[in-house]
Amino acid sequence: MFRQMRRFKQQVSQEKCIEILKSEPRGVLAVLGDDGYPYTIPLDFFYDEKDGKIYFHGAKEGHKIDAIEKCDKVTFCVMDKGFKKDDDWALNITSVVVFGRIKKVTDESKTKEKVCKLGLKYHPTAEAVEHEWENAKTRVLCLELDIEHMTGKLVNEK
């Protein structure tokens, strides 16, 4: 169902893909937006190793939510910061592209668990995360991306 990478020699392992999902702070979610136009949005996220899913948080309404309600198929792309080899101008970047289906998390306790784990990726303390949760819990929506296919690629900009 999913295409194999055309430039397979640049493909990285699933382990490397997961490492990037765990360590990088942001990615870009692509959905099928209004009138068939793609809609992409940069998002903070959390990859949960226990269930192999990606979690996001955000508002309960808007363009992204409208698109997801119409079509749950999405792609999500994350890139690392890259590196340069000694005495070379070209940047080497590893990207991960995830294909999957996304849905709203409707269970309140699961929402709190996943949103707080996401918060711990960005906030300095668990207390700060708990404070944010208490202030936003009535307005926040948690989204769960079930990964169906994932590839990663190391690219040299030369």
- Tens of pLDDT along the chain (158 residues) come to 888 888 778 889 999 999 999 999 999 999 999 999 999 999 999 999 999 999 999 999 999 999 999 999 999 999 999 888 888 898 899 999 999 999 999 999 999 999 999 999 998 899 988 888 888 888 999 999 999 999 999 988 77
Predicted TM-score of the model (pTM): 0.91
CA distances 87 to 10, 136, 150, 158, Å, are: 22, 48, 33, 13
